[in-house]
Structure 1
């Protein structure tokens, strides 16, 4: 038995060509986007940023107050880090620096909030912390060798800090 070759109508052929052109254009856009992201990633890496799990992080080499640290992050298009998971907590600890994170109760004593306004739901407080009352309204990551390493401290203390830039390089 002889099978007949596949015959395509003119409209089917034209539709196939249009689809093929759309796929090629989409591929070019993705390739261009990938190349742009690689350039941005390399640029950020050269400026001291490190990528982890969807965010870029910058750890300072100087020491400032909590507010000065936050201002520095904001000037960089970021904010002090908001720790959302055990993995992120472990990542931030690996720098082995005592540093500010984006947690404070300066608005309402005892009500800890992240810099984006979300309330603290999961914490990594060191044993006995927080304990500073009205005098200690900002949070440092103090004992980098321990998972539970947060300590409340006077916001005027000068420490290193860690910025986080989410969703965009």
Structure 2
């Protein structure tokens, strides 16, 4: 059976190794950083072959690839999702790809218009890192709010909560772990809706995780939070197109 590997922003290719279904990988903005606890390292492969190696391992959810420059190309596969802020070392020319899910988990909400799959943990309180771990167990990560459409989904969610919960801050997937004051989403993108007043982010080195809640006007607003506070959170599972 033909194995089809789809690399978003790269190319779709047919491979003939094994009898597995189609897999889709997305290139993310997080790059030039190497996470050292990889599953396997390969050399002298194309990016398509690197994706193939990852697809052969059931729990491989990310891979990083460095094209051939002065040395052979390098491929690193991971049994976890690699994200911006995770412990890593500088490694020039390295790109990272996420494996995308075929479908939304049964207990998640699927928005067909925006192809977004998410779950609200409104009454389960965790620190940011523990919330991230739970999201990863679901096959995803903390919600990335880097588009206006996704912010509208968050706003609609908050508006649906009962009054005691509507103003409670929720963790989502932003941090400045890599460099203080440089805020990034887990995929490495940097689009943040900080308040125009300049009041946020306000916590310096003591508040390095992103929280979100609506203002009285119903407009979603971000702010920095202490990562060890016990708070509700929103998870997201990335879906193939």
Output the TM-score relative to the length of structure 1.
Answer: 0.66
**Which residue does 2:115 correspond to in 1?**
54
Q: Secondary structure at the match of 1:84?
A: coil
What is the correspondence of 1:78-89 to structure 2 with a 5 Å cutoff?
A: 78-89=140-151
Instruction: Give the C-alpha shift of residue 95 in structure 1.
Output: 2.0
Please tell me whether residue 163 in structure 1 is matched to residue 235 in structure 2. Answer: yes
Distance 1:119 1:109 in 2: 16
* Structure with greater helix percent: 1
For residues 128-152 of structure 1, the C-alpha deviation after alignment (integer angstroms, 9 at most, x for no partner) is 1111100000010033554241110
Q: Residues 91 and 132 (structure 1 numbering): CA distance in 2 closer, same or farther, change over 3 Å?
A: same
**Which residue does 1:123 correspond to in 2?**
192
Judge conservation of contact 2:146–2:185 (CA < 8 Å) in 1: no
Q: Secondary structure at the match of 1:73?
A: helix
Distance 1:57 1:104 in 2: 19
Which ranges in structure 2 are unaligned for 5 or more consecutive residues? 1-102, 159-165
Larger radius of gyration: 1
Moved over 6 A (4+): none
Distance 2:134 2:215 in 1: 22
Q: Residues 148 and 58 (structure 1 numbering): CA distance in 2 closer, same or farther, change over 3 Å?
A: closer
Distance 1:65 1:159 in 2: 6
**Which residue does 1:153 correspond to in 2?**
225
- Correspondent of 1:136 among 207, 215, 234: 207
Q: For the aligned residues, what is the CA RMSD?
A: 1.8
**Number of aligned residue pairs:** 123
Distance 1:68 1:144 in 2: 26
Distance 2:126 2:215 in 1: 19
Larger relative contact order (Cα-Cα within 8 Å, sequence gap ≥ 6): 1
Distance 2:233 2:152 in 1: 16
Judge conservation of contact 1:63–1:158 (CA < 8 Å) in 2: yes
Output the TM-score relative to the length of structure 2.
Answer: 0.47
Which ranges in structure 1 are unaligned for 5 or more consecutive residues? 1-39
Distance 2:157 2:215 in 1: 8
* Structure with greater strand percent: 2
